[in-house]
Amino acid sequence: MENKRIYLCLAHMSDNGEELKYIKEAFDTNWVVPLGPNVNSFECDLEEYVNKNDVEDLHKRVVALSSGTAAVHLALLALGVGPGDEVLTQSFTFCASANPIVYLGATPVFVDSETDTWNMDPALLEHAIADRIAKTGRKPKAIVPVTLYGMPYKIDQIMAVAKRYGIPVVEDAAEGLGSRYRGRMLGTFGDYGVLSFNGNKMITTSGGGALICPSTEARERILWYATQAREAYPYYQHEAIGYNYRLSNVSAGIGRGQMTVLDDHIAHHRHVAKLYREAFADVDGIAFHDEGEGMKSNFWLSTILLDEGLRVKGEELAYTKPIQGAVGGAAGVVHGGDAIHTDCEPNRNVEGLRLTLSEAGIESRPLWKPMHRQPVYQTTVKSVAYSNGVSERIFRHGLCLPSGPQVSDADVERIVNTIKSSIL
């Protein structure tokens, strides 16, 4: 029998069909719009979830939005970010952490990673702040740390730096729903917290996100911006630029159903991570990226690093022809091209292993390419970078492995066996 194709991370619907129930309710009541009962209930479910922790009572409010990118955008807008400002953000991340800074006419200041969590380096962050103040006479407007692959960043240290300089924090926890640090959920430590419900996240609304807000007043302001910034008149009056960022009632219905399986999904991702951890513990040349003390990662994606000297089957095929389509089932349209290499790319053994896994029907993917090495931020967009080489090194050595709810124990065994058998 032909082996099934194993995908990296696809959302899994609940077994009880709750999603369909709420979607049907939206159509039956004609609430097929970007507001409605499902949206309100989904937000309430999220608020209950993010405020539940082992340390202290929280009173965060949540706005459901069309994407995590929209959440980053509105959080920065609420903090007053605009043309001429600088915003410090993690370089080792997806572009959605940085692009909204540019939407607002501000300048991204990229801060490199530390080697433990792969997230923003607190010492380098402080150096960057002091240097920007010395060079510009102004402190950056905000800090955007990221929960990379669900791994909590060095929260105590980052927050201490932010407090020392009086700079607000927008936590990009788009990949970190359910990840915790000392019992408290990621996204609740900063002034604002960003969540994503894209189709490959811990739960999905097919596409969507949310912004965790510090107060009811802040929530109302975000909601106003997200619904085109209408003034209270019997006609459409606008005194500020708003955005069409509200989550639809149909999508929110999917989210309500997904909330019933969120804890199960997190438990499964952590179980898959445990299997990988144990399987690679005695494999020379492969290191599993694990959580540290006080951290509870959702392990949205399990990731490994390959030593540069490790030889694998498929290396001879790495970078022999241009890629014309999206790698790893990535959504959207990509530009095909004739170039094979860029000036910052995964090592040949990493690309060779990806090709070998793909040939076996197993989807894998390189890590995020650091933003400060992306051409658009080197040429087209004005940006500043404080680099220590860590994110570039990890990018060259790293690979994401299948981790989603549909990945079974047998699948993990097949993935691990394929990897081990590819080692020369």
End-to-end alpha-carbon separation of the chain, Å?
27
Distance CA 26, CA 23 (A): 5
What the chain holds in terms of domains, given with CATH numbers, is 18-260 (3.40.640.10), 263-422 (3.90.1150.10)
What is the pTM assigned to this prediction?
A: 0.96
Q: How many Cβ atoms are within 10 Å of 142's Cβ, its own excluded?
A: 25
Q: What does the pLDDT read at residue 225?
A: 98
User: Exposed, middle or buried, 346 (CB in 10 Å: 0-12/13-18/19+)?
Assistant: buried
User: In which region does residue 80 sit, left (phi positive, over 0), alpha (psi from -120 to 50) or beta (all else)?
Assistant: left
State residue 1's pLDDT score.
40
Measured from the Cβ of residue 390, the count of other Cβ atoms closer than 10 Å reads: 18
- What is the pLDDT, as a whole number, of residue 2? 55
Q: What's the gap between Cα 170 and its chain centre?
A: 13
At residue 11, the pLDDT reads: 79
Angle value at C-alpha 400, between 305 and 396, nearest 5 degrees: 45
For the chain, the helix, strand and coil percentages under 3-state DSSP, each to the nearest 5:
40, 15, 45
- pLDDT of the chain along its 424 residues, tens only? 457 899 999 878 888 889 999 999 999 999 998 889 999 999 999 999 999 987 778 999 999 999 999 999 999 999 999 999 999 999 999 999 999 999 999 999 999 999 999 999 999 999 999 999 999 999 999 999 999 999 999 999 999 999 999 999 999 999 999 999 999 999 999 999 999 999 999 999 999 999 999 999 999 999 999 999 999 999 999 999 999 999 999 999 999 999 999 999 999 999 999 999 999 999 999 999 999 999 999 999 999 999 999 999 989 999 998 887 666 555 567 777 778 899 999 999 999 999 999 999 999 999 999 999 999 999 999 999 999 999 999 999 999 999 999 999 999 999 999 999 999 9
Cα 257 to Cα 57: distance, rounded to the nearest angstrom = 26
What are the φ and ψ backbone dihedral angles of 76, each rounded to 5 degrees?
Answer: -65, -40
Q: Give the model's pLDDT for residue 33.
A: 86
**How far, in Å, CA of 239 to CA of 245, rounded?**
18
Burial class (CB in 10 A: 0-12, 13-18, 19+), 401: buried
- Single out the residue of 55, 20, 57, 25 nearest to residue 40, CA to CA: 25
**Dihedral sign, CA of 49, 54, 59, 65?**
negative
